[in-house]
Copies of this chain bind each other. A is one copy, B any other.
Amino acid sequence: MTDRLDPGAAIGILGGGQLGRMLSVAAARLGFTCHIYDPGAEPPAGHVARRVTTASYDDSDALRAFAGAVDVITYEFENVPTSALDILEPLKPIRPGRRALAVSQDRLTEKAFLCDLGLRTAPFAAVDDEVDMAEALEEIGTPAILKTRRLGYDGKGQVRIASPAQADAALEQMRGTPAVMEGFVDFSHEVSVIAARGLDGSVACFDPGQNVHRDGILRRTTVPARLTSAERSDAVLLAAKILNALDYVGVMGVELFVLPDGLVVNEIAPRVHNSGHWTQDGCMIDQFEQHIRAVAGWPLGDGRRHSDIEMENLIGADIEKVPDLARDPEVAIHLYGKAEARPGRKMGHANRRLGPAG
């Protein structure tokens, strides 16, 4: 492979949170050095990286210097500003590429893209104003959920609409921001596929995990997920379809609703994903290394797991569970080095080994 990076090469990571941190460790394991770019001081990833640039995403000099210092650029979050990408893209390869970011930065674009691929999504409609809202209510009905088209994560930027009477208030909360209304899907449970595509076009998926959310935040992922073997195949095939359509390079998280008559795509994330943290202790090659392998042009791991794992997020005060978790020999603790345990803040996660892969 001509584009294969050798050990010693520098990988630039936009965003220095916990995902960047775990990517940096995985990159070091393969002999790469990491350079983190983050607007905040003391980003968690900076504790395990060779270099850190502290600068905003509109600091074009800092962006250029960063691009000059690395061999390839990746990111830990999909909301990298377009203006920053415009500066970086001519200088160094950005993986995954622009198309994946464009699609996933906008909920409406994403849903349209998925539908064009022939995949099922929740019913949706663009809602910019009262006229759109009336149409959407007619088409989708209630209960529904109104989400900003751009930004928003972990349940932020979302309002539930239980009945048509709540529609006006919901629209007001958007403060004129373009939004999308989504109908509810009557699913039995949510699973996600952590899929990867290499620079050579090969695709590999980890076993789907079953997710439990609370207050819009992922709490727990259990592998294996409750799925028939047909559903399992469908999940993997549709993930591959998405990656191939985007000519994607890297790891993607694909969240799926499981319905009696098939799978509905909830959301895609063009990056390593919280629901893939179990791979750190269930697989020889985890999602972080898989992503680094992809962006570095290395062969992918095949995604096989050796152990069944239950991943539990440690959110806010959950950090106080650590002393107890540390006493359990079947639990691997992963903390993110964040100083302050604010409510809703992801402080770490714990992977519990349930046994050999069943």
Contact = CB atoms under 8 A, between A and B. Distances in A.
A356 interface: yes
B47 A285 contact: no
A4 B47 CA distance: 21
A28 B8 contact: no
A29 B333 contact: yes
A322 interface: yes
Given A326-B293, A327-B299, A335 B29 contact: yes
A194 to B, nearest CB: 15
A337 B33 contact: yes
A353 to B, nearest CB: 6
Q: Which of A25, A49, A337, A351 has the most CB of B within 10 A?
A: A337
Interface stretch (A80-88, A134-142, A226-234, A302-310): A302-310
A223 to B, nearest CB: 15
A345 interface: no
A332 B281 contact: no
A319 B356 CA distance: 32
Q: Which of A4, A335, A351 has the most CB of B within 10 A?
A: A335
A164 interface: no
A337 B32 CA distance: 7
Given A335-B7, A336-B31, A353 B285 contact: no
B50 A353 contact: no
A47 B50 contact: yes
A285 B323 CA distance: 15
A329 B284 contact: yes
A335 B299 CA distance: 16
A344 to B, nearest CB: 18
What 6 A-B pairs have minimum CB-CB distances, sorted nearest first? A31-B335, A302-B329, A47-B50, A48-B48, A284-B332, A299-B327
